[in-house]
Amino acid sequence: MSATPAVAWREVCKSYPDGHQALRGVSLEVAAGECLAVLGTSGSGKTTLLKMVNRLIEPTSGAVLVRDVPTSEWEPIALRRSIGYVIQDAGLMPHLDILANVGLGLRVQGRPRAERDEEARERLELVGLDPSRFARLRPHQLSGGQRQRVGVARALAADPDLILMDEPFGALDPITRRELQDEFRRLQRRLGKTVVFVTHDIREACRIADRLALVAHGRLVQHGRAVDLLERPTHDFVRAFFREAEAIDAVTEKEGP
Residue with CB nearest Mg ion?
47
40 or 131: CB nearest ligand ADP: 40
Binding mask 163-182 for other proteins (x = CB under 8 A): -x------------------
Binding mask 202-221 for other proteins (x = CB under 8 A): --------------------
Interaction with other proteins in 41-100: which residues (CB under 8 A)?
54, 56, 76-83, 85, 87-96
Q: Which does 92 bind (CB under 5 to 8 A by kind): ligand ADP, Mg ion, other proteins, none?
A: other proteins
20 or 225: CB nearest ligand ADP: 20
Task: Specify the amino acid at residue 31.
Answer: A
* Nearest alpha carbon to residue 5 among 36, 37, 33, 29: 29
17 binds other proteins (CB under 8 A): no
16 binds ligand ADP (CB under 6 A): yes
Query: Which of 17-25, 41-49, 65-73, 232-240 is the region at the interface with Mg ion (rule: CB under 5 A)?
Result: 41-49
CA atoms within a 13 Å half-sphere pointing along the CA-CB vector of 179: 12
86 or 226: CB nearest other proteins: 86
100 or 220: CB nearest other proteins: 100
Interaction with ligand ADP in 31-70: which residues (CB under 6 A)?
40, 42-48
| Residue ranges binding ligand ADP (CB under 6 A) | 16, 18, 20, 22, 40, 42-48
